[in-house]
A and B are shown apart, each in its own frame.
Chain A
Amino acid sequence: MSITVGRLELAQPLLNGSGTWDAEQAHRIFGDANPGLAGFVTKTITPEPRAGNPAPRIAPSRQGLLNSIGLPGPGREAFLATLLPRLRTIVDGPIICSVGGFSLADYVDTVAALDSDPACAAIELNVSCPNVESGCASIGGDAGETERLTHAARQVTAKPLFVKLSASVADIATIAKAAEAGGADALVCVNTIKATAVDRRTGKSWFGGGGGGLSGAAIKPVALHAVVACREATTLDIIGLGGVESADDVRDLMAAGACAVALGTALFRNPALAHTISADLAS
C-alpha cells in the first residue's frame, strides 16, 4: 500500500521518529538499517558537531520516557561528506533529513546543501530549537518565526519540505497554519512534550543538561489532539507520531488525519516493532 505524504512517495506508511533510530548502528548490529520502515528519518542535523548534554540524559516516567539528549551529532559538514553517503548505501527507501539550528541562516544553509544532494529525498525542519539571534526560546512556539523559517527554507529547496511541530504550544493550529503559509508540504506531529525530572535533594533538574521532553505511550492522546487540530486548520498531509506501540495506535492516528505514522520510543523496547505492526495491519 504505497502512499504519498507531502509529495514524498513511501512504499508503506511506517517511518521512525527523528532521533529514535540509528540506521548505521542497526545495520551493524542487526544487519538491517531500517527494518519494516518505509525509509529513514535522520537524527536532527545541526550546523556544527555537538557532543550532546552531560549525563544523566534519560529517566523513566509512568508509561513514558523523559529525555534531555542535547542533539549530539557530527554536524552538517561531516553528515554530508560521510554519514549521508553511507546511509544511502544501507537504507531501504527514502532518507528524510531532519534539520535543526539556532538561527535562520543555520537552517537555510543546511537545507540548501541538502537540496543539491540526491541522497536526501525530503527535509524535515525540527522547529523545537531556540532562535538565538531573535531571542525566541522555541521557533515552533511562535507563528511568525515558524512562517519565516519555513518560507526561507522553501526558497532554497524544491524537495518535499516537512515541518515538525511541538505540542508544547498554546495553539498548535496557529503554528500549523504558519507552516502552511510558509510553503510546507507536510506536518509532522508531534515532538516530545516539555517535561522534566527533579533531583529531590536539590530541587533542580535531574538531567545533566537541564530541561527535558516526554515521549512514549503517555503522550499518544496529545499526538491525537495535535493531528486533529492540524487536519482541521490546514490542507497539508500529516505524519503522526507520539506513543505509537501497536497497529491500533496506527489506526487511531490515521483516523485522526495522519497519512503516515512514525514509531519512536517504542522502538527502544522492540527494534522489530515495525514488522509486527505491519503484519497486524495486514491481517
Chain B
Amino acid sequence: MSGVVEHATRLGPHLARVVAVEPLGGLALVRIEPDPRTELGAPGQFHMLSNPTGRDYLSRPVGLIQLDDGVGFVVDQESAASDMAGPEITVLGPLGRGFDLSETSAETTLLVAAGFGLTVMARIGRLHTRIRLIAGLRQADHLPLLEQVTGVTIDAPRIAPDLVTDPLSEALASGQYRQVLAAGPTGLGAAVARICADHGVASQIALEAPMACGFGACNGCAVQLDGTWKRCCIDGPVVDGARLLA
C-alpha cells in the first residue's frame, strides 16, 4: 500500500511572501519566505498555488521543495513572469497522498523522474542520501533544475527524445532493486509501472493531472486507476504502480 500519508490540512489558504525569483535555465526557482503555515508535508504531497490578484483564475498544483535557506518551487519562466508574478503567492496544502518511504534504502531503491517530477526527488534526497536517480528532461535548458536535486546520485540525464525507460529496464535487470519511486508527466507513470511489473519490482508513482481544487471537490483531475477513472488529488498523486496496470 503506497503513500498513505495523511496530514490535517489548514482550511484557509495563506499568503506567502515571495523573496526572490531566480532563473533556472529555461525554468524559474521561486523562493518564498519560511512560515510555519507553509508545511511541506511528505514528499509527493503537493500545494495549490494561486496569485492573490486573481490574475490566474485557477490555482495550480505544485510540489514545494526544501532549499538550504528556506522553501521554494519551480515553474516555467512564463508562469513566473505572468500568472504567478507578484510579491505574494497564495498557498493551500499540503494535499494528496505522498510516498511511503518506510522501505527506502540506497541499496534497494531506484528513483525515476522527469520534468517537474524531479522536484519531488529533491525532497527524497534530503531524507535518504545516495539513492540512484534516473532523470529525464524535456529540453537541454532545463538541466539547471538538477542543481536543486541534491543528496541523490544522478545518472547522466536523458534529454527528450531519449527515454528514461531504457536505462530503467537495464537497471532492473541487475536484480539489485526491490522498489522504484517515480514522478513525471502522464505516460511516464504507466510505462514505469509496466517495466517494474515485468521485473517483479514494486513501484510507487507520483501522477500529474490538471487540477482545479486539489481536495476532491471538482472531479477534474481524472486519472485511470484500477481500470476506471479516479481523482488524482485524493487517490494520489502517489499511487501503487500496479493500480495503473489494472
Contacts and interface: CB of A to CB of B under 8 A. Distances in A.
Contacts of A35: 11
Nearest to A36: B11
B37 to A, nearest CB: 13
Interface residues of A, number: 43
A81 interface: no
Nearest to B213: A268
A279 B215 CA distance: 24
A15 to B, nearest CB: 14
B229 A268 contact: no
Interface in B200-227: 209-213, 215-224
Given A35-B11, A269-B59, A271-B92, A52 B217 contact: no
A256 B173 CA distance: 69
Contacts of A217: 57
Nearest to B219: A69
A108 to B, nearest CB: 26
B219 A269 contact: no
Given A51-B228, A64-B57, A20 B11 contact: no
A62 B12 contact: no
B23 interface: no
Interface string A48-80: 000111111111111111010100100000000
A214 B133 CA distance: 42
Interface in A57-114: 57-65, 67, 69, 72
Interface in B56-77: 57-59
Contacts of B58: 60, 65, 268-269
Contacts of B179: none
Residue with the highest number of chain B CB atoms closer than 10 Å, among A20, A59, A269: A269
Given A29-B9, A52-B222, A268 B216 contact: no
A136 interface: no
Contacts of A270: 12-13, 90, 92
Interface string B92-118: 100100000000000000000000000
Given A35-B11, A52-B229, A65-B58, A57 B220 contact: yes
A199 to B, nearest CB: 14
B234 interface: yes
A272 B13 contact: yes
Contact of A29 (B57, B95, B222): B95
Contacts of A30: 8-11, 215
A21 interface: yes
A23 to B, nearest CB: 9
Contacts of A67: 212, 218, 220
B212 A268 contact: yes
Given A30-B11, A269-B58, A52 B219 contact: yes
Given A35-B11, A268-B58, A268-B59, A56 B210 contact: yes
B50 interface: yes
7 contacts: A22-B215, A25-B234, A30-B8, A35-B11, A58-B212, A269-B13, A269-B50
Interface of A: 19-22, 24-26, 28-32, 35, 43, 51-65, 67, 69, 72, 208, 216-217, 265, 267-272, 275
Those 7 A-B pairs whose CB atoms lie nearest each other, nearest first: A25-B216, A58-B220, A272-B12, A268-B213, A30-B11, A55-B222, A22-B216
Interface of B: 6, 8-13, 48, 50, 57-59, 90, 92, 95, 209-213, 215-224, 228-229, 234
